[in-house]
Structure 1
Amino acid sequence: MPSKYHHGELRTVLVSTSLDLIAEQGLKGFSVAEVARRAAVSPAAPYRHFPDRESLLAAVACRVALQLAEHVEASTAAQDDPAGKLAAAAGAYTAYVMDRRAGLHVVFAAGLDNPKYVELHEHSRKLMDHFLVLAFAVAPDPQTALELMEQLLAQAHGYATFQLDGVFAQHGYSTELVVRKSVESARIVIRGHLAPSGP
């Protein structure tokens, strides 16, 4: 089956198709063969750009890291105070995962810790550094900032997963409502970390 795409276009199409496939079937359903079928190219065509499954997945993860960073930066731009920026970043993460059904579970998928995926590691580090900078701006010390970032990201991912899995749908929640709840919950967690500890 001859490729209908220009050499430079096929790589982009394969990444986009992979992201759509992961959105539908999760990482367990991701395969190079299925991506090729959906892109209407020969089974061998993807291997001209990606030597194996993990290389294609690394390119997808890089796209996710870039898009997440863009969403987080856009969400924080409208906020004035550090706590508001951090809470907005958590909400932006929830919104992205609900929209693309991809998040840090794709960015840090098994097998992608190989040093050869330089571009992925660069973008994933920038993404996490952005969250860390926001956490450092409100936390009293580095350890608290790390714990705060971990808790907020886990919570933000959980909100998105509950919506995607239909848990919130039973209550008629819209995606906008879920994002608002994610942001408000993030604010509560932030206030909890900043509150003075008891005797």
Structure 2
Amino acid sequence: MNPPVKRRPSGRHHGNLRNDLLRAALELVGERGPHGFTLAEASRRAGVSVAAPYKHFADRESLLAELAVQGYRTQRERFAAALAGDDDPVEQLGRFAAAYVRFAAEEPALFDVTFHAGIDKSRFPGLASAGDEVSALLLPVARRLTASDEAAFELLLRVASAAHGLAEFLRQGLFGLPAEALPATESRATTTARTLATT
């Protein structure tokens, strides 16, 4: 009598391989930053062979690019929800700035992949498109407060830059313990955005 044939489980090694690799890579980014791990380490963390990722990703940057797309999509969802809370464009920009800070605090690994990984967007059209979707959501708000598309872009750039700086300061502990300082930092971001939008 022949022994029963052992079959590989169909879960993580087949249908879920891509998601398992993305999850493992995001965990590693959270622990070491976007430049602190290899594709082989992500494979081991996901429980697959070091050759397995190449079924889905050409290299480590391709894996990071997919995570960055997730980062932009998560931002867009958060920002859309924030904008929906008010019809006044000044208040909407304030709510956007606060949501930006909260995204950085609550999704630090996605934030780092999106803004600190140094991914070449020319290699990944989907990444550029995901970023454009965020801009397309926010630019019409700024346009309601400005005389031209160029001025709207500049206003949005100033608001986003201020929110980004506050988010970085928060994460670095410049305002105290980040979890405790988050509400005050959101308030700072909101006030700064309102000021930029009305001057």
TM-score > 0.5 by shorter chain: yes
Name the TM-score, length of structure 1 as normaliser.
0.84
Report how many aligned residue pairs link the two structures: 190
Kept after mapping to 2: 8 A contact 1:62/1:107: no
Q: Tell me the distance in 1 between the aligned counterparts of 2:36 and 2:148.
A: 41
Counterpart residue type for residue 154 of structure 2: E
Shift of the 122–164 alpha-carbon distance from structure 1 to 2, 3 Å rule, reads same
| 8-17 or 84-93, which deviates more | 8-17
Deviates more, 1:127-136 or 1:96-105: 96-105
Q: Is 2:42 the partner of 1:35?
A: yes
Aligned 8 A contact 1:131 1:149 in 2: yes
Paired amino acid for 1:110: G
Structure 2 equivalent of residue 168 of structure 1: 175
Say if 1:105 and 1:151 are closer, same or farther in 2 by CA, change over 3 A.
farther
Distance in 2 between residues matched to 1:108 and 1:96, nearest whole Å:
15
1:106 paired with 2:119, answer no
Residues 34-73 of structure 1 aligned to structure 2 (within 5 Å)? 34-73=41-80
For the aligned residue pairs, the C-alpha RMSD in angstroms reads 2.4
Q: Secondary structure at the match of 1:93?
A: helix
Structure 1's unaligned 5+ residue stretches are: 193-199
Question: Which residue in 2 is equivalent to 1:138?
Answer: 145
> Segments of 4+ in structure 1 off by > 6 A?
none
Q: Residue type of the partner of 1:146?
A: F
Which residue does 1:118 correspond to in 2? 125
Q: Which residue of structure 1 lines up, in the alignment, with residue 5 of structure 2?
A: none
Please give the alpha-carbon distance, in whole angstroms, between the structure 2 residues aligned to 1:38 and 1:171: 28
Structure 2, unaligned stretches of length 5 or more? 1-7
Aligned twin of 2:189:
182
CA contact (8 A) 2:38 2:60 kept: yes
Check the 8 A contact 1:98/1:161 in 2, yes or no: no
Which residue of structure 2 aligns with residue 91 of structure 1? 98
Moved more, 55-64 or 175-184: 175-184
* Residues 98, 189 of structure 2: 8 Å contact kept: yes
The one-letter code sitting in structure 2 at the alignment partner of 1:24 is E
- 8 Å CA contact retained: 2:67, 2:113: no
Aligned partners of 2:141, 2:149: CA distance in 1, in Å?
12
Are 1:8 and 2:15 matched, yes or no? yes
SS at the partner of 2:198?
A: helix
Range that drifts further, 22-31 or 45-54: 22-31
SS of alignment partner, residue 94 of structure 2: helix
**CA shift for structure 1 position 169:** 1.1
Contact 2:35–2:117 under 8 Å retained in 1: no
Instruction: Work out the CA distance in 1 between the residues paired with 2:24 and 2:164.
Output: 23
Q: Which of 153, 156, 162 is 1:149 aligned to?
A: 156
1:78 to 80, 85, 88: 85
